[in-house]
């Protein structure tokens, strides 16, 4: 397997966490998003959306981190990252969607660039925008963890929900967003991050010194 990513990409971080939890070996090809590396024609030929991550497996190119996470859990079922019952799987997918579709797109690089360049947003305004949407999503997930968690976001073992929330909290830390109102979320993410320590952005080969 070859993972195309970038050390500080939250979406690529999700996939690295799942790979680490499952103990799977892979190679990395990294594309510096700050310099537009994802728009290189060779990579655009692999992933027409020109986003990271993408996963190359046996000549097939998988894109979109959530789809990759689900594929990994189907293809390599041990240890499982989804509950074994339909209700549990739906709840975990709801947690994933809360962060992956309702929070993450509003603070990724291209959104922040548009807010600054196209709409003239100041740093203070852009930071307030990020903090608002992170708080909305984190509060919702915190309530779900209170209802369904038992050491992790759902139950007593990591799931795809944890693969999603760990990078979201990493981004919040980067941007100085207060996460103290979400103690269950923070605790569950810390447990998962410890189990998948090799996936941390700072430990990637392309990370800044």
**Integer Cα distance of 50 and 68 in angstroms:** 16
Question: How many other CB atoms are found less than 10 A from the CB of residue 46?
Answer: 15
* 67-to-15, 63, 64, 100, 124 alpha-carbon distances in Å: 10, 7, 6, 11, 34
Q: Is residue 200 part of a domain?
A: no
**Integer Cα distance of 156 and 199 in angstroms:** 21
Q: Are residues 100 and 51 in the same domain?
A: no
Q: Are residues 178 and 96 in the same domain?
A: yes
Among the candidates 78, 113, 144, a domain finishes at: 78
Q: Is residue 18 part of a domain?
A: yes
Q: Are residues 96 and 62 in the same domain?
A: no
pLDDT at res. 129: 84
**Integer Cα distance of 49 and 51 in angstroms:** 6
10-21 vs 160-174: helix crossing angle, rounded to 10: 140
Q: Are residues 151 and 178 in the same domain?
A: yes
- Residue range(s) defining the domain that contains residue 101: 86-195
Cα-based angle 200, 178, 116 (whole degrees, multiple of 5)? 80
Whole-prediction pTM: 0.93
Q: What is the mean pLDDT of each run of 10 residues along the chain (209 residues)?
A: 96 98 97 92 93 96 98 98 98 97 82 85 86 94 98 98 97 92 98 98 95
pLDDT at res. 208: 93
Domain tally, the chain: 2
């Amino acid at each position: 397997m070859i993972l195309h990513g970038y050390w500080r990409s939250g979406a690529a971080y999700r996939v690295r966490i799942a790979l680490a939890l499952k103990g799977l070996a892979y190679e990395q090809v990294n594309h510096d998003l700050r310099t537009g590396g994802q728009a290189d024609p060779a990579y655009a030929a692999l992933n027409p959306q020109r986003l990271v991550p993408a996963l190359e497996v046996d000549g097939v190119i998988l894109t979109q981190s959530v789809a990759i996470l689900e594929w990994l859990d189907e293809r390599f079922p041990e240890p499982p990252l989804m509950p074994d019952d339909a209700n549990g799987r739906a709840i975990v997918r709801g947690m994933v969607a809360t962060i992956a579709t309702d929070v993450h797109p509003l603070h990724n690089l291209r959104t922040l660039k548009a807010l600054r360049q196209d709409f003239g947003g100041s740093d203070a305004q852009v930071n307030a925008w990020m903090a608002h949407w992170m708080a909305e999503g984190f509060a919702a997930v915190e309530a779900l963890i209170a209802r369904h968690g038992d050491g992790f976001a759902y139950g007593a073992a990591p799931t795809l929900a944890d693969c999603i929330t760990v990078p979201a909290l990493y981004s919040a830390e980067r941007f100085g967003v207060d996460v103290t109102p979400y103690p269950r979320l923070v605790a569950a993410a810390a447990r998962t991050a410890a189990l998948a320590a090799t996936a941390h952005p700072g430990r990637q080969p392309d990370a800044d010194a």
